Amino acid sequence: MSKVTVVGAGNVGATCANVLAVNEVASEVVLIDIKEGLAEGKAMDIMQTAQLMGFDSVVTGVTNDYSKTAGSDVVIITSGIPRKPGMTREELIGVNAGIVKSVAENILKHSPNAILIIVSNPMDTMAYLSYKVLGLPRERVIGMGGALDSSRFKYFLSQALGCNANEVEGIVIGGHGDTTMIPLARLATYKGIPVSKLLSEDKLNEVVKSTMVGGATLTGLLGTSAWMAPGAAASFVAESIVKDQKKMITSSVYLNGEYGMKDLNIGVPVVIGRKGVEKIVELDLTADEKAKFEASAEAVHKTNAVLKEMKLI
């Protein structure tokens, strides 16, 4: 028996609620939005698939009534504006920072023990803001970006290899941005075989590039940012918490010395279980990977500085 709340019933939030229900991640899913009737409508639509899909989870929708979210084990925050073609995730900070802060404060009034999964962009900065202002231990503030970026990396690898994506391993670390994420090609494998043995350097570079602009490519095609894989990725992280699966998932967590970094949230592999972040895994990076990670952290710090200018932290 577990309860998961999804804040924001837009594209990502509603898709996430749907995946949570279909996969029976939680017995109770609450969808909440500021827009009158939207969450209620999306929840009813999902519930009308229950008999077709054969799930028993109950999804309810509410407009801005946080009392209905009380006692949530996990809360996924997707509220805010998405990017339009040509925009970077970082350009969303002005609007989304205020939304994420107020939403998280409301959530904690009713679910003081909840573990938060932050999805709204620029995600690393929104996760950092949440950690800084809410007074929660860092284990309970998880930024979702690496789960999605790693899934995209595995997709592009499987396309290049002509194989099943479930048989490919690959992780993406660093910031959740077109230029800041670092797909770790060196560690990617197909059935335990390093992909560098199976793909040419050029092909592998192409896969890395496609992964990095994966979100922007979809934004160009769809006219707004993608939602299927992002919604599923947020549910994937929630499932590891609720079911104590202890999966290793790249997530944006607050670093306090790990990887030689301090005072930022950035994507690193972590073990996720019932307590949230249960372990930060420190990979042995090469000099080149380290340099890329440092540049990525620098860019994230720069975006975080806007929070100070806005007097939000």
Ligand X SMILES: NC(=O)c1ccc[n+]([C@@H]2O[C@H](COP(=O)([O-])OP(=O)(O)OC[C@H]3O[C@@H](n4cnc5c(N)ncnc54)[C@H](O)[C@@H]3O)[C@@H](O)[C@H]2O)c1
- CB contact set of 103 (below 8 Å; sequence gap of 6+): 7, 77, 79
Q: Nearest-5° angle of CA 95, CA 97, CA 101?
A: 130
Nearer to ligand X by Cβ, of 36 and 263: the residue is 36
Instruction: Note if 301 is an active site residue.
Output: no
Say whether residue 183 binds ligand X (CB under 6 A). no
Report how far residue 48's alpha carbon sits from residue 44's, in angstroms, rounded to the nearest whole number.
6
Q: Which of residues 8-27 bind ligand X (CB under 6 A)?
A: 8-13
Report how far residue 292's alpha carbon sits from residue 180's, in angstroms, rounded to the nearest whole number.
8
Nearer to ligand X by Cβ, of 103 and 249: the residue is 103
**Secondary structure of 96-139 as H, E, C letters:** HHHHHHHHHHHHHHHCCCCEEEECCCCHHHHHHHHHHHHCCCHH
Say whether residue 42 binds ligand X (CB under 6 A). no
Give the nearest distance from C-beta 144 to ligand X in angstroms: 5
Nearer to ligand X by Cβ, of 80 and 204: the residue is 80
Q: Single out the residue of 17, 29, 33, 299 in contact with ligand X (rule: CB under 6 A).
A: 33
Report how far residue 20's alpha carbon sits from residue 240's, in angstroms, rounded to the nearest whole number.
12
Q: Which of 310, 11, 258, 4 is nearest to 132 (CA)?
A: 310
Between the CA of residue 294 and those of 65, 106, 152, 273, 287, what are the distances in Å? 42, 35, 23, 28, 10
The encoded tokens of residue 286 equal 């090469």
Draw the binding track, 222-251, toward ligand X (x: CB under 6 A; -: no contact): --xxxx--x---------------------
Say whether residue 160 binds ligand X (CB under 6 A). no
Say whether residue 46 binds ligand X (CB under 6 A). no
Q: Single out the residue of 30, 38, 171, 238 in contact with ligand X (rule: CB under 6 A).
A: 38
Give the nearest distance from C-beta 196 to ligand X in angstroms: 27
Report how far residue 90's alpha carbon sits from residue 249's, in angstroms, rounded to the nearest whole number.
23
Peptide bond into 122 cis (omega under 30): yes
Residue with smallest beta-carbon separation from ligand X = 10
Residue from 42, 89, 176, 292 carrying the catalytic annotation: 176
Q: Single out the residue of 74, 114, 119, 232 in contact with ligand X (rule: CB under 6 A).
A: 119
Q: Single out the residue of 2, 18, 57, 121 in contact with ligand X (rule: CB under 6 A).
A: 121
Q: Which of residues 197-226 bind ligand X (CB under 6 A)?
A: 224-226
The encoded tokens of residue 29 equal 């899913």
Count of residues of this chain found to bind ligand X when the rule CB under 6 A is applied: 34
Give the nearest distance from C-beta 122 to ligand X in angstroms: 8
Nearer to ligand X by Cβ, of 83 and 140: the residue is 83
Q: Which of residues 126-145 bind ligand X (CB under 6 A)?
A: 144-145
Phi-psi region of 223 (alpha: psi -120 to 50; beta: other; left: phi over 0): left
Residues recognised as catalytic: 176
Residues that bind ligand X (CB under 6 A): 7-13, 33-35, 38, 78-83, 92, 96, 99, 103, 119-121, 123, 144-145, 148, 176, 224-227, 230
